[in-house]
Amino acid sequence: MTAGRPGAIDRLLPPLALLVLALFVGLACWAAAQAGTLGFDYLSYDSAVRRFLAGGVLYDQHFQTTGPFGLFYYPPPFVLLAIPLTLLPPDVDAWLAAIALTAVFLVAVAILPVSTRVRWLVILLGGLSWPLVYAIKLGQVGPILLLTFAIGWRWMDRPNRLGFATAVGAAIKLQPLVVLGWALVTGRRRAVVVGLAAFLVLAVAGTVIAGPSAWADQLGLLVRLSKPVSTPNNVTPGRMAFEAGFGDTLAWAIQLAWWATVAAVVLYVLWRGTNEASYLAVVTASQAISPILWDHYALMLLLPVAWLLQRRLWWAVLIPLATSLPLIEVTPRVFYTLSYAITLLLIAWQGRRAAAPTNGMSPA
């Protein structure tokens, strides 16, 4: 490779990445607007909060399955973030949400603790990624969670930033709370205290606004709707097995085995890997263990992919490329499930290598 080659790549990559991101997100949002589905999830949040502010219930208990329009089952503190969004008409808000989520994604990538070239490559992969583009089109909270996880990764040794970012993520969706478990195990006790205190403040404020019964109402919805095997269109291993004809009992056995395997891999990385690797394993697992695993959740894999690319594992680009927009009609849905398994195994492998002594001696 010539000395001028890297310079050419570094000059071409930023405009290409931004062009691809703007093009694919713009086209997806325009097509959704024409079909009347732009901001499908965002408008569900919006309608629930507007209904609540008008004197109705926040958590509609009539839903029997997850996925229909109007379903809201996020934690009560989410209302604190959602109320300001009701100040504008919903159709305007849907476009603003798409623009804001795209900006949030760019901020998340900008703060990643990787090289500039890897950041631009992640933006390019994100622009091609169906999970990211779909999440933005839906007005889903995924890019915001990506930002909170990115903050945690960048400043994992800054307790206040790690704790507060985790608390905000948990106020939006409860899964990020597992990061506080990681912080406790890795000796970051101050971050745990900050995170729990911040989440408690948000929880109390959300309870004051939504009412004491809000938590029970949310729990009732989660228990009733969290059906990994029987919920259509989700990509849990149990659902994939059920769709393949394995039967309900065997599909549930596969789902339980998946949860156990994910936990085992995370524990291995905590034991044998670096703190950076174990953090990314926990982030990946927080999505992989979701009772309902939608395809757009896979946008969170851009974080460990960035880490793998930083470690010169360049073929890791195949993980997001396999679920890219150009291949949306080609890639089997089961690959969304497999992508989590592949990513966790790569994190375990590279995390163990990163933790291995460099002097050729065995660890004591």
The DSSP 8-state label assigned to residue 313 in this structure reads -
Q: Which of 207, 227, 226, 224 is nearest to 58 (CA)?
A: 207
List, as one string, the DSSP characters of 212-249: TTHHHHHHHHHHHH--TTTSTT---HHHHHHHTT--HH
Q: HSE on the CB side for 97, CA within 13 Å?
A: 35
Q: What is the pLDDT of residue 4?
A: 45
Q: Where are the domains of the chain?
A: 27-354
Q: What is the pLDDT of residue 66?
A: 74
Mean pLDDT, consecutive 10-residue stretches, the chain (364 aa), reads 61 95 96 90 86 83 72 84 78 88 98 97 97 95 96 97 96 92 97 97 90 85 88 94 95 98 98 97 96 94 98 96 92 94 97 76 35
Q: Determine the pLDDT at residue 67.
A: 67
Show the CA angle centred on residue 281, arms to residues 278 and 283, nearest 5°: 110
